[in-house]
Amino acid sequence: MTLSTPRTDAVRPGDAPTVTGADAARPLRVTLLAGGVGGARFTRGLRDLLRRRDVPAELTVVVNTGDDMWLDGLRVCPDLDTVMYTLSGVVHEEQGWGRREETTRVSAELHAYGLGWPWFTLGDLDIATHVARTELLRRGLPLSEVTARLAGRWEPGARLLPMSDQSVETHVELADGSGTVHFEEWWVRLRAGVPARRFVQVGVEDAVPAPGVLDAIAGADVVLLPPSNPVVSVGTILGVPGIRDALRATAAPVVGVAPIVGGAPVRGMADACLTTIGVETTALAVGEHYGARSADGLLDGWLVDTADADAVPALAAAGIEARALPLLMGDAVGEDGLTATEAIAAAALDLAGLGARVASAS
């Protein structure tokens, strides 16, 4: 390599600055930190937007594994599976998790033997994923390789990485003093109805980011926080030693999408999680909780719903550039020719300064 070789991709006056030369030749690198349903749907919209616009891209999704557990002898990774199924077009769309058109005969048999959790049903096709994962883990492969092997069957259009190869399980200390339960028991059996005193990430001190995670953050053109649970999805990922620092250090802009609309979660009980950590259930408070990069936080930009537009000046005052637009993800195509989810993804990239790079070619 000769350092003195003149650049032939020099930007001429009038050129859009970000679409010429080497930058345009290599794929856009987008890294996302995701939980289950919200993260999966957003990532699918982003992938579809970039395909629609013919933008070559490398998407990496760093997925929360704090909800993982052993059940009936199987390693179950709810968020990884939701992301994999959603991106692969086989998810049970209404439920948001599990496989479309599956039965629950195997779970029913296991329950009849007194195994498993009676309130937690796994579909039969989903169980095949857990059997395959467990077998590959038993052969000694780390979860990151197992995940790549499982995803290799599908064409998710994104690289899926567990946040860590080590087990980190979110446990919930119940506020009524009745004990500590696995996150899934609190979420699914108790419907977050018993307040949580504290979330404990069992094993997190000894966990390291899975191979590829830190590089994906450092080498990204943009890092996105999709509308995932800020406490038990994104918060858990950020708890893995090294990941928060990598986000603080990356040269890429970091832009998030508020999971709270009009003072309430769109689905699920994120309000109960936020209350436990002393954060109000508003788009403003969650943005401030992540904080501005200029003030020891993580965010350069934050999208809020139009219902929360009055938070934009306060976020700006806190050092976070915010924009308001409809944030309910959906598949109906609007006047701009994009689905609602794609439009949110486009706005996130635009806020990150990548608008010209992903602008419609037509």
Closest CA to 273 of 186, 182, 159: 186
Query: If contact means CB under 5 to 8 A according to the sort of partner, which of Ca ion, ligand GDP, none does residue 123 touch?
Result: none
Is residue 38 within the footprint of ligand GDP (CB under 6 A)? yes
Q: What gap in Å lies between CA 143 and CA 146, rounded to an integer?
A: 5
* Selected range binding Ca ion among 40-48, 78-86, 243-251, 311-319, rule: CB under 5 A: 78-86
Is residue 261 within the footprint of ligand GDP (CB under 6 A)? yes
Q: Which one of 35, 209, 235, 301 is in contact with Ca ion (CB under 5 A)? A: 35
Q: What gap in Å lies between CA 247 and CA 238, rounded to an integer?
A: 9
Is residue 348 within the footprint of ligand GDP (CB under 6 A)? no
Q: Which one of 110, 270, 318, 338 is in contact with ligand GDP (CB under 6 A)? A: 270
Q: What gap in Å lies between CA 42 and CA 49, rounded to an integer?
A: 11
Query: If contact means CB under 5 to 8 A according to the sort of partner, which of Ca ion, ligand GDP, none does residue 38 touch?
Result: ligand GDP
Q: Which one of 36, 98, 116, 239 is in contact with ligand GDP (CB under 6 A)? A: 36
Length of the chain: 362
Closest CA to 46 of 237, 257, 215: 257
* Selected range binding ligand GDP among 13-21, 48-56, 163-171, 261-269, rule: CB under 6 A: 261-269
Q: Which residues of 337-350 are buried (b: 16+ CB within 10 A; e: fewer)?
A: ebbbbbbbbbbbbb
Q: Which one of 28, 31, 33, 39 is in contact with ligand GDP (CB under 6 A)? A: 39
Q: Which one of 28, 30, 32, 37 is in contact with ligand GDP (CB under 6 A)? A: 37
Question: E strand or H helix at 75, and its extent?
Answer: strand 74-76
Q: What is the DSSP string of 264-290?
A: EESSS-HHHHHHHTT--SSHHHHHHHH
Residues that bind ligand GDP (CB under 6 A): 34-39, 79, 82, 227-229, 233, 257-259, 261, 265-268, 270, 327-329
